[in-house]
Amino acid sequence: MSAIFYKEWIKTRWYLLLALLVTLGFAGYSMLRINRVASMKGVEHVWEVMLARDTVFVDLLEYIPLLTGILLALVQFVPEMHRKCLKLTLHLPYPQLRMINLMLFYGLLALVISFAANYLLMGIYMQDILAPELYSRILLTALPWYLAGIAAYLLISWICLEPTWKRRVLNLVISVLLLRIFFLAPAPEAYNAFLPWLAIYTLLTASLSWLSITRFKVGKQD
């Protein structure tokens, strides 16, 4: 397990550092927007805008987790397929399903750490100027976007591991439709009642990669 994690770390370490800095940068900039409004017009105005206009001040973050997850999957799995390393990886003396699951778990762990750092930054800052009901409103509104980033990582991994281009195109269409679910309702906290099911739905997408691996093992190719 440590060897697999180290292999994935070698491939992705620079991207993960960049992703962490970029996501933290956008989260920090969103907090600066709140700070600017609070310093110019007072914290009361921030509260009024959030309650009266359904403003959450973190709109810039909406597609950042999605892009982060997509790019991580590409960085992690495109080299495996392009250099034909996956066949060698699957022939190692280690259960194949467990190996693929560990590779995906590595990516999920990296994303969760990066996204948790975003939440920590926003939560620490907003606790000082907003009531719990208001900053939890912002964090809950952003949560489906971060779940979309995790789902995007799993779905793009499924596409990358697919051995034929015709099926990759079909998988891409399916993935776009599935990811659209995370962005159907723009209103703040619109997904609150659906969040547990959305989280389960996100995790279930991890099983799709095994379909591609099964096709790869039986020799499907262009």
Q: What is the pLDDT of residues 96-150, one digit of tens each?
A: 788 888 999 999 999 999 999 999 999 998 888 888 888 899 999 999 999 999 9
Average pLDDT of the chain, as a whole number = 88
Residue 46 has a pLDDT of: 80
User: Among 33-42, 152-161, 165-174, 194-203, whose mean pLDDT is lowest?
Assistant: 33-42
| Highest averaged pLDDT of the listed ranges 49-58, 77-86, 194-203 | 194-203
Number of domains forming the structure of the chain: 1
Per-residue pLDDT tens for 171-188?
A: 999 999 999 999 998 888
Q: Quick check: 10 pLDDT over 70?
A: yes
Q: What is the dihedral of CA 115, 121, 123, 128, to 10 degrees?
A: -170
Would 69 be classed as within a structural domain?
Answer: yes
Query: Does residue 93 register a pLDDT over 80?
Result: no
Per the domain annotation, does 76 fall within a domain? yes
The pLDDT, as a whole number, for residue 43 is 79
Q: Is this prediction's pTM over 0.85?
A: yes
Q: Is residue 134 part of a domain?
A: yes
**Which residue range(s) make up the domain with 71?**
2-217
* Average pLDDT for 183-206: 89
Would you say residue 80 has pLDDT above 80? no
Domain membership of residue 195 (yes or no) is: yes
Q: Is residue 112 part of a domain?
A: yes
User: 19 lies in a domain?
Assistant: yes
**171 falls within a domain:** yes
pLDDT at 159: 94
Residue 222 forms part of a structural domain: no
Instruction: With cut-offs at 50, 70 and 90, classify the pLDDT of residue 222.
Output: low
pLDDT of 36 reads 86
How much is the average pLDDT of 68-82?
90
**Which has the higher per-residue pLDDT, 125 or 95?**
125
Q: Is residue 74's pLDDT more than 80?
A: yes
Q: What is the pLDDT of residue 210?
A: 87
